[in-house]
Amino acid sequence: MYKYIRPRRNRASQGVRALISETFLHPNKLVLPIFLEDGAGIKTEIKSLPGVFRYSVENATSFIEEALRNGISSFILFPAVQDALKDSTGTYSYHPDNFYLKAIRTLKNQFPKAVFISDVALDPYSSDGHDGIVRDGEILNDQTLEVLSKMAVAQAEAGFDILGPSDMMDGRIAAIRDALEEKGFVNTGIMSYCAKYASAFYGPFRDALDSAPKAGDKKTYQMDPANRIEAQRELQLDEVEGADYLMVKPALHYMDIISDLKQNSILPIVAYHVSGECAMLLAACKNGWLDFNTAMPETLNGLHRAGADIIISYLALDYAKWWRKQHDL
């Protein structure tokens, strides 16, 4: 009877294909990154990431309004800090006059139902461009934790719903969780960059924030791209230290890691579809090698299929608009 088994019957029409579709990525599962810059009237395109901009707060407001209209309700914010405000220990990160902290107060007041995720790391504020304090060429882990804890509390006080430690210092989730609990921020979530790799695909992001290391690289704290099992160790540590979400970064080139974390944790798994991955897709589409409206949703659905519950992508708004058209909304 095997000759009567025809899998193509389940692909015969759009309606039938929809009936058995296994992956359903709704725009409310997407997080839109936004680069913020101090000032007014700013909308500066990132040359290495076409269609993505640095915004002053009032222009970011318009961008957020557009995203909300299209079904995206979560945003991760990154600060582009002037060099004059940077120092070796990132003290501006928790200073009351930090424009990033002022910005979230404004945005959270205007969009109280939106979810805002922060960036907890020294590199935007460090004169060395590293995620930790540098002394004699060494990244100091435990001294960095003290600064990260101050930064986290300042961000929670300012109104961030979820904090995103992206530094990859050992013990940072526990240190931040302790600091938040001590100050009464028991409901502030932690989205841990659990498996953050020392990747070649961060270039446009570093262009956007001018945050590349001034010397050396980040290989003593970010993970080796060759390693898979090591991610399980980071998972176990972040879970017991109090993380609420576990992130894999980058995403497209690490779908095996996304799948591993999904199978070994009950926490929500986040995939960061990073700037270089997005830039490659945009460049291929611009050159006519790929069709954006088929390649873009295929990419994001692939990440969801691999196990990502939440996807951070610079293409999130493009996907949301595409999704609405598909559903005649």
Residue 257 lies in a domain: yes
Residue 139: per-residue pLDDT: 94
Task: Specify the number of domains making up the chain.
Answer: 1
**Averaged pLDDT for residues 240-249:** 98
What gap in Å lies between CA 130 and CA 213, rounded to an integer?
Answer: 5
- % of the chain residues with pLDDT over 70: 100
The continuous run of DSSP H or E covering 292 comes out as helix 292-306
Structural domain boundaries enclosing 283: 25-326
Give the pLDDT confidence score for residue 56 in this predicted structure. 97
Q: How confident is the model at residue 328 (pLDDT cuts 50, 70, 90)?
A: confident
Q: What is the pLDDT of residue 1?
A: 66
Contact 298, 14 (CB under 8 A): no
User: Which is the catalytic residue, given 29, 86, 249, 321?
Assistant: 249
Q: Hey, CA dihedral for 137, 140, 143, 146, is it positive or negative?
A: positive
Residue 234 is assigned to a ligand binding site = yes
* 146-193 pLDDT tens trace: 999 999 999 999 999 999 999 999 999 999 999 999 999 999 999 999
Residue 60 lies in a domain: yes
> Using the 8-state DSSP alphabet, how is residue 122 labeled?
S
In a domain, 299, yes or no: yes
CATH number of the domain to which 221 belongs: 3.20.20.70
pLDDT digits (tens, 9 = 90+) for 88-133: 999 999 999 999 999 999 999 999 999 999 999 999 999 998 999 9
Residue 300 forms part of a structural domain: yes
In a domain, 12, yes or no: no
To the query of whether residue 214 is one of the catalytic residues in this protein, the response is no
d(CA 79, CA 98): 10
Q: Is 111 domain-assigned?
A: yes
196, 218, 262, 321: which one is catalytic?
196
117 domain residue, yes or no:
yes
Backbone angles phi, psi at 113, to 5 degrees: -90, -10
Residue 85 has which token pair? Answer: 């405000």
Q: How far apart are CA 277 and CA 49, in angstroms?
A: 10
For residue 213, being part of any structural domain is answered with yes
Q: What is this structure's pTM? A: 0.95
Residue 286 a catalytic site member: no
Residue closest to 126 by CA, chosen among 148, 142, 105: 148
